[in-house]
Amino acid sequence: MHRAARIEDWLHDKREKFARRRGHLPIVIPYTGYGTTERVRILCRVLLAKPVKSTGTTSKRRRNEKRDASIRGWRSFTSVPVNDVTVTIDIGGKAHRVQADRGGVVDTVMQVDLEPGWHTAKLHTHASASVDAPVFVVAPDVRTGIISDVDDTVMVTTLPRPLLAAWNTFVLDEHARVPTPGMAVLLDRLADATTGAPVIYLSTGAWNVAPTLSRFLSRNLYPAGALLLTDWGPTHDRLFRSGREHKRDNLRRLAHEFPDMKWVLIGDDGQHDEAIYSEFQQDFPQCVAAVAIRRLSPSEAVLAGRRAKDAAEAKPDALWVYGPDGASLAAQLADLGLLEDPGAPGPIE
């Protein structure tokens, strides 16, 4: 194991022992999963947290709720993950037990028999209460899905600049995060265009921010979908995880899990989305319905360290569209037949 990983494990062990001495108990943080009628991917994370007190006056509870409604990003990074714990998953009348990884994350696949639509998985450890994890099951006849980046695509973050990234992640109140103009409407229209289309939010962000990100997406009326994030820090063989490999691996995995699905890939030109999506299109051309790239404004591009230098050398084909916001991208996707043109005349009565 890489020395940095050994140091991280030692630090987690010390923090876990300290937290347990203070009475902290394991809790399961559920994430949205997805799957087919035969198998589902379940995601969650196990952390140590203070026991919830059921007593207290109404005014105190309201103050706590108001405090919790203003959550700064740094709080999500002070939690203590638990890796030496078994999580029991109940869904579709079947139970599955799996151990969390070094970061307390559970990412597993269960063989089940489920009808298309939303389902609920029950997750718990031997010492924690059961929690509900939503799981979206895709119908076998659905042929179009949506995969969207998060940073600078659905949410303006200027993530590549280290200082600004640190400010946005660790300091900025979650309610101050800014949605990208028109992107919620675009994703919602794409989801409505194909009944039962899966929506996947694929990001290099850490699992620590998943609850914050879920609240942001819901509050700004983005369609519900699974979050595929990563775990920052060292791995067994390297000092830092590769965000690009995380995206590549999950795109390839989705292509194998849904071999008959064509995906609308949404990203921006501030990081590596163009190169990653181009590689995916070359490897799985039958799996790409369109690629929609949001162009950053000049000021955003400067804050993002200019545009990505590693964009694909090959010129994008007719399936690629570019625009500064969701409305511009929607108009071009309508030209490709993936959306109805809102300006088109309706049927004559």
pLDDT for 167 equals: 57
The tokens 């709720």 sit on which residue? 65
Q: What is the pLDDT of residues 47-74, one digit of tens each?
A: 887 776 655 555 555 544 443 444 455 5
pLDDT for residue 2 is more than 90 = no
Q: Are the C-beta atoms of 273 and 320 separated by less than 8 Å?
A: no
Q: What is the pLDDT of residues 159-217, one digit of tens each?
A: 555 555 555 555 556 666 789 999 999 999 999 999 999 999 999 888 888 888 899 99
pLDDT for 313 equals: 47
Instruction: Give pTM, 2 decimals.
Output: 0.84
Q: Percent of the chain beyond pLDDT 70?
A: 70
Domain covering 144-335 assigned CATH 3.90.25.10 in the classification:
no
Element (H, E) at 327: helix 326-335
pLDDT for 329 equals: 97
pLDDT band for 22, please (50, 70, 90 cuts).
confident
Q: What is the pLDDT of residues 316-333, one digit of tens each?
A: 689 999 999 999 999 999
Q: What is the pLDDT of residues 266-291, one digit of tens each?
A: 999 887 899 999 999 999 999 999 99
At residue 169, φ and ψ (nearest 5 deg) are: -85, -45
pLDDT for residue 115 is more than 70 = yes
Measured in whole angstroms, how far is the alpha carbon of residue 165 from the centre of its chain?
17
pLDDT for 65 equals: 43
pLDDT for residue 133 is more than 80 = yes
Closest C-alpha to 254, from 293, 195, 202 = 202
Q: Are the C-beta atoms of 91 and 100 separated by less than 8 Å?
A: no
Average pLDDT of the chain, as a whole number: 81
CA dist list (Å): 44 to 49, 88, 219, 310: 15, 11, 21, 33
Q: Spell out the long-range contacts of 74-77 with Cβ–Cβ below 8 A and sequence spacing 24 or more.
A: 74/169, 74/170, 74/171, 76/208, 76/209, 76/211, 76/212, 77/169, 77/170, 77/206, 77/208
Question: Higher-confidence residue: 79 or 71?
Answer: 79
Distance CA 154, CA 144 (A): 20
pLDDT for residue 18 is more than 90 = no
DSSP 204-247: EEEGGGHHHHHHHHHHTTPPP-EEEEE--S--SS-SS--HHHHH
Question: Higher-confidence residue: 311 or 272?
Answer: 272
Residues 6+ apart with CB under 8 A from 317: none
pLDDT band for 43, please (50, 70, 90 cuts).
very high
pLDDT band for 12, please (50, 70, 90 cuts).
low
Q: Spell out the domain ranges in the chain.
A: 3-137, 144-335
User: What is 3-137's CATH number, 3.30.530.20, 3.40.50.720, 3.40.640.10, 2.60.40.10?
Assistant: 2.60.40.10
pLDDT for residue 232 is more than 70 = no
> Which of 153-157, 232-236, 309-313 has the least mean pLDDT?
309-313
